[in-house]
Every structure is written in structure tokens, then in C-alpha cells.
Amino acid sequence: MSTILFDGINHPPAATLVADGLGGGLLYCGTPASGKDFTAAQYADYKAHKLITIMGYENLATDINGGRALGQAHANSFLADARAKRVSFGEPALATVDEHVSAANLSLAMQYQSGFRAGLKAGGWRGPIGIYGFSEVLEAAHMMGNADFYFGAGNRASLPPYTNIWQDNTQTIQVGGSADDRDVVLIPLPEEEDVPLTAADIAAVAHAVAAYKNPADGKDVDMHQHAVDATAALAAVRTLSAQVDALSNAVAALQNGNAATVSTNGGSADQNGTA
């Protein structure tokens, strides 16, 4: 059975969504004057019930006319609202292009999307950043690598095969007694760790690795003196992360008075806990 989401124009409690058989919803963010933005209590309620929450920015259908600069400005409004309402920056986020776009204006739409995307990333957003629109918008974003997921509007047959969510244009649903859009999950959304790395992301990882000592000779690694291997850099960070997790688990075990074994660099040391 398909997971069905609702378009969060209304603000029903999580229990209502569960009773109506819904898996979550699209929550509008960063446009307080619209009257449809989610509330902090609503978000906390949804997360407590493990519902899917996609954070969306939609001001006007003509938002794309402002190009990259307006996309960045809207990202800042989105971030401020999300931060104030204690939203996890690992959530899926998207900007909307709520109109059909002519071939002549597709580049403008992509400039707006790239500005929104860059603004979110600069502000620390870690989750996948997608786009909402009709088929021509989704196809342009996909061709440019300008989105991590795709929320499609219009006739389902017109949408590309990589569309993650379809806003059903054949029927609406009742959510707590109010009519709302029916959004069908066709392909599960990418998780935070599944988001493809950009060149800027890779550079950030490289600089993070450079902050650690080279275990072979104890000297600082000068990443500017060597070609950056993204795969090796990521592997190094993941190894460090695994070691931190292992140490955290060992500390927890010690605090509970249990014996724990900590493995580092292929060796092991028995740590005897005390009551």
C-alpha cells in the first residue's frame, strides 16, 4: 500500500493523521503571512508519532521571477522559521514552482532553485533538498543536478520516472474533516546520509580530515599539498566517527558498572567498570 501524505495547509494533530491512515505531510515554512505555516507544537507532535515531515517553502506562484537572489533570500526566511521552531536540519526540504514554466523561463526557475539550495546549505541544512513542480521543472532540475528529490504536480503519466512524490490531481482527501491534497509517495525520499556530495561538500570533508594528525608520522596533513581523494577522505571521517561511537558506548558501559572492550587501531584494551 502506498504511503499517503497531506499538503499541510491545515494543522491537524498527529492522532488525526494516524486515524485517517496518513504517513505525514508537507509542512510550509518561512512564510508567516500566508497563514499556512506549521507550528512548533505541530512539528513536535508529528515527530513524536514518527510521521514523515517535508519542510516546504511556497510564497507566490511567481517566486522564480526573482532568480537566484530571491531564492537565497527565501532560504534565509525558511531557515529562521525552522530554527525558531526547533526543526531538525536533517529533514527533507523543498522550494515550490507552483506554475507551468515556459522553455524560455526554465533557466530562471533553476536559478531560483539553485539560490534556495545554496542558501539552505550555507545555513547548515543537512537533509535532502528537493523541488516541487510540473514535469518540465522536475526534468530541468534533474538534468542540472539541482535537486535531491522530486515532488511532482499534474498528470501522473507526464511525470518523469524518478519522481518521488506525486500530488494527485484526480482526487482530494479529508483530513480531520477538511479537504486537502493527496500526495502519494512513489519512491522513498533519500535520507540525510544519501544526499550526493557537491564539490563544496568534498572540500569541507577534506579540510575536516586535515584537522587530524597523520597516524603514520604524527605530522599535520597538508591537504593543499596533495590531490584530494573524496572517497578516501570520506572513509577517514567515517572511521573517526565509528571510533567516537565505540568510545561513547564504552563510557556508557563503564558508567553502568559493566566491563567494556574498546577497540582502537586494531588493538583492544579491557576497561573494568566500577560500581
Q: What is the pLDDT of residues 8-43, one digit of tens each?
A: 888 999 999 999 999 999 999 999 888 889 999 999
Q: Measured between alpha carbons, how far is residue 246 from residues 44, 119, 255, 270, 275 in Å?
A: 30, 35, 14, 13, 21
C-alpha cell at 123: 545555513
pLDDT at 200 over 80: no
Q: What is the pLDDT, as a whole number, of residue 191?
A: 82
Backbone angles phi, psi at 146, to 5 degrees: -100, 15
pLDDT tier for residue 177 given thresholds of 50, 70 and 90: confident
Q: Which residue has the higher pLDDT, 216 or 235?
A: 235
pLDDT tier for residue 94 given thresholds of 50, 70 and 90: very high
Q: What is the pTM of this model?
A: 0.71
Q: What is the pLDDT, as a whole number, of residue 246?
A: 62
Whether the CB-CB separation of 180 and 17 falls below 8 Å is answered with no
Segment 40-59 mean pLDDT: 96
pLDDT tier for residue 1 given thresholds of 50, 70 and 90: confident
In this structure, of 79-83, 127-131, 214-218, 249-253, the range with the lowest mean pLDDT score is: 214-218
Q: What is the mean pLDDT of the chain?
A: 81
Whether the CB-CB separation of 197 and 230 falls below 8 Å is answered with yes
Segment 106-115 mean pLDDT: 96
Backbone angles phi, psi at 52, to 5 degrees: -70, 130
